Structure 1
Amino acid sequence: MAEKKNILTYAGLKQYEDELQNLKVFKRKEVAQKIKEAREQGDLSENAEYDAAKDEQREIEARIEELEKLLKNAEVVVEEEIDLDKINIGCKVKVFDFEFDEEMEFFIVGSTEANSLQNKISNESPVGQALIGKKAGDVVDVETQMGTIQYKILEIQRV
């Protein structure tokens, strides 16, 4: 079975590449030094610092593996090629929320970059799915667990 492509914006790709580089270059050395210092304290069977450092090492290696897999299957959206006539991944969308009578902005990203605190919504989320392919001026109904939300698309921009 083919692995799912991880759709990323260029900014997302850069963020993950930087994190991977930091883990490989700095964090590995840092945790190796902690393990070395803990070993020098003697009896490892009752050495909490050694256990903590080994746990940290396992977490770092797991994250490195996760990032390498993510980047291996990455598909980068080229922002310059985004068609601004309709919403797609890599767009910034301004909408009007009828229920709360307010304007909101969303950044449509792939699922690996989604972060609700930064208004980055996944193309696979209910809101993302409802917005993809729509045009400025369209009114969209989004089915959520809380009921139907209605948005009017005001503007589509490149990020």
Structure 2
Amino acid sequence: MPEQVKKRLEEEIRLLEHELTTELPAEIKKAVALGDLSENAEYHMAKQRQVFVNARLGQLKKRMGELAMVNLVNIPHDKVGFGATVVVFDSSKNEELTYKLVTSEESDVAQGLISTTSPIGRALLGKKLGEIALVVTPNGKRELEVLKLTTIHDVKEVSPEAV
């Protein structure tokens, strides 16, 4: 798992756990002191926030577990996979584009960082040099021919500027 993604997830988990164990109980206690809970907006808002924070914590912890299980050994050496930088020719735009496949937390289309779960990322996964990926988008179908491929095994760390 990329370190910056791990740190960002850990920080969000830390903040939400603090809110859940410190801030929300104080808000609920204060709202209960106001009396009649059936018409107490502060109480209902705090309880709703508590449910949301619990759900978000569950999502984040699950995602941390998923990312921790990524085994770089299983990523192919000759096909597009996680961490690969790929130069493609987009026949619909008649131009070359460069993408790096990253986790959904790191994606930034403007920087050429696309998620492996995005339509383009999913279409490119498993493609070799010279193969064509068909991407279905709201604007129609796009054909992307793989012109150049650098896998995560070829380079230890590709900086975003190199993408």
* TM-score band, normalised by shorter chain: 0.5 to 0.7
Q: CA RMSD in A?
A: 3.4
2:89 match: secondary structure: strand
> With structure 2 as the length reference, what TM-score do the two structures score?
0.66
The alignment covers a number of residue pairs equal to 148
CA distance in 1, matches of 2:74, 2:23: 41
Where does 1:9-158 land on structure 2 (aligned, <5 Å)? 9-74=2-67, 75-76=69-70, 78=72, 85-109=78-102, 113=105, 119-123=113-117, 127-136=120-129, 138-144=130-136, 148-157=141-150, 158=152
Q: 1:97 and 1:116, CA in 2 relative to 1: closer, same or farther beyond 3 A?
A: same
Q: Which sections of structure 2, spanning at least 5 residues, go unmatched?
A: 153-157, 159-163
* Alpha-carbon shift at residue 126 of structure 1 (Å): 5.1
Q: Deviations over 1:36-74 (max 9, x none)?
A: 222222222211011000000011111112222333344
Larger % of strand: which?
Answer: 1
Counterparts of 2:60 and 2:48, CA distance in 1? 18
Higher relative contact order (CA 8 A, sep 6+): 1
**Ranges in structure 1 where 5+ consecutive residues have no aligned partner:** 1-7
> What are the superposed Cα offsets for residues 84-129 of structure 1, whole Å, 9 maximum, x if unpaired?
643211223232211112333433245x658575652335x55334
Give the TM-score, by structure 1 length.
0.68
